[in-house]
């Protein structure tokens, strides 16, 4: 039994590492570099990209490079502005972009074939990203819709069930599997609390996309925080991995757009309200200090962090990496929309789906955030494209700070997490 628990924990830790780890290094490395150190330009200013190809860290010469320049497409396809072939001479070639007249992002991609294998890389230049505006719009009944949802949730008894998990407890931390009543079912999570007597700030961890077990943040609790990590799918978070695998490929496949044509039954309604229920629970934990609550997550979790802070004024601080579900209608306006990158074909481009998306778009929740926030993403993110995350960020009226790590795609450097934890922990301890 203990061996099985250790294996499952190791698998979960490996999954979490892979979600945030840098990509593996290949034999041939293509380096695409904008000519501004911060990769950022004013409107109307052309960007110039340098392309270098290395093998064993030695520049290659006289090989052909295929390049494209296009508006940041996420992982979809948008009209290509420029493309062609160039030959490496003196270790590099340069590509000058057309002038970019609207706030947004332009990506230069380079591809080479060496010994029969193709390699590619890209860099993304930003043009006045602080001026990017959301393409979505705020429904007139947006606030009323979510006020009604919160009232429905408040009428449902929480009925928290906490089950101690002795096999995960340490000499400093107690670990519990938690079950709560939510709108239309349950919400489950892992609570980690300090054993040392006292009152502590609380941190709510909201998850990235997917279906998986959760293990909580034991180290965080050992440092003096009540730490609660939730799942969003209404199923226990301590089951065998095979169950989650089956759900991922079966009943929950494509959950992120389920019921997109019905605002009352859209999948994320119970998810967003479930995050509020998680805050209800934190308020009831005996060694919570009764004052300080933060919410944090990345990707879908970044989205849920903003949504939770917007819907619940008990949140004091939020820290979000590359928030998904932001400015979903971007593709309708010729630029990348936020994950899951919809509204680009006849199946999704239906008026009723577009309208319902507005009630779940993070950009619209951003308008109501009052909690102080820390945010971070990269220009090269092709899952949660930077145009979408800026569209949401630029609407946030609360005190905020953005930490851009330009070259990162949908992953983070360890330094980003160190910065986030330093900021979040210090705020909660003030």
Structure tokens at 340: 């899951």
DSSP-derived 3-state class of residue 153: helix
Residues catalogued as catalytic: 299, 381, 410
Residue 421 belongs to what H/E stretch?
helix 414-429
Contact (Cβ atoms closer than 8 angstroms) between residue 139 and residue 99: no
Rounded to whole angstroms, how far apart are CA atoms 238 and 274? 18
Tell me if 81 sits within 8 A of 47, measured CB to CB: no
- Rounded distance between C-alpha atoms, residue 230 and residue 216, angstroms: 8
Per the CB < 8 A criterion, the answer to whether 413 and 378 are in contact is: no
Q: Which helix (H) or strand (E) holds 290?
A: strand 288-298
Q: How far apart are CA 104 and CA 100, in angstroms?
A: 8
Strand partners, 192: 175, 227
* Burial per residue of 132-160, b for 16 or more beta-carbon CB atoms within 10 angstroms, e otherwise: bebbbebbeebeeebeebeeebeeeebeb
Distance CA 84, CA 124 (A): 18
Nearest to 313 by CA among 137, 142, 147, 144: 147
Other beta carbons within 10 Å of 406: 19
């Amino acid at each position: 039994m203990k061996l099985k628990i250790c294996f499952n924990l190791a698998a979960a830790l490996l999954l979490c590492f892979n979600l945030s780890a840098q990509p593996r290094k290949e034999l041939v490395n293509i380096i695409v570099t904008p000519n501004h150190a911060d990769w950022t330009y004013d409107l109307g200013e052309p960007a110039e990209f340098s392309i270098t190809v290395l093998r064993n860290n030695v520049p290659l010469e006289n090989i052909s490079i295929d390049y494209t320049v296009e508006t940041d497409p996420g992982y979809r396809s948008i009209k290509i502005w420029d493309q062609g072939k160039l030959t490496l001479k003196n270790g590099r070639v340069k590509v000058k972009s057309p002038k970019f007249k609207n706030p947004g992002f332009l990506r230069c991609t380079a591809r080479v074939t060496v010994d029969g294998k193709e390699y590619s890389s890209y860099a993304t230049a930003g043009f006045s990203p602080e001026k990017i505006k959301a393409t979505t719009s705020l429904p007139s009944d947006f606030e009323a819709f979510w006020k009604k949802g919160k009232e429905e949730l408040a009428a449902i008894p929480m009925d928290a069930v906490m089950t101690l998990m002795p096999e995960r407890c340490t000499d400093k931390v107690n670990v519990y599997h938690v079950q709560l009543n939510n709108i239309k079912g349950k919400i489950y999570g892992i609570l980690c609390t300090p054993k040392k007597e006292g009152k502590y700030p609380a941190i709510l961890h909201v998850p990235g996309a997917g279906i998986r077990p959760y293990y909580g943040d034991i180290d965080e609790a050992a440092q003096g925080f009540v730490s609660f990590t939730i799942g969003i799918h209404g199923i226990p978070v301590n089951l065998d991995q095979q169950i989650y695998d089956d759900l991922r490929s079966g009943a929950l496949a494509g959950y992120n757009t389920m019921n997109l044509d019905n605002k009352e039954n859209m999948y994320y309604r119970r998810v967003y309200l479930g995050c509020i229920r998680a805050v209800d629970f934190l308020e009831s934990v005996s060694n919570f200090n009764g004052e300080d609550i933060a919410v944090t997550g990345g990707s879908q979790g970044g989205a849920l962090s903003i949504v939770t802070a917007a819907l619940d004024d008990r949140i004091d601080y939020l820290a979000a990496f590359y928030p998904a579900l932001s400015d979903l209608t971007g593709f309708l306006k010729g630029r990348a929309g936020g994950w899951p990158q919809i509204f680009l074909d006849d199946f999704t481009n239906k008026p009723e789906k577009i309208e319902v998306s507005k009630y779940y778009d993070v950009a619209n929740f951003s308008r109501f955030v009052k909690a102080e926030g820390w945010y971070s993403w990269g220009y090269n993110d092709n899952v949660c494209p930077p145009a979408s995350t800026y569209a949401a960020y630029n609407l946030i009226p609360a005190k905020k700070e953005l930490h851009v790590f330009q070259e990162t795609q949908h992953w983070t450097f360890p330094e980003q997490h160190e910065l986030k934890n330093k900021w979040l922990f210090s705020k909660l301890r003030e």
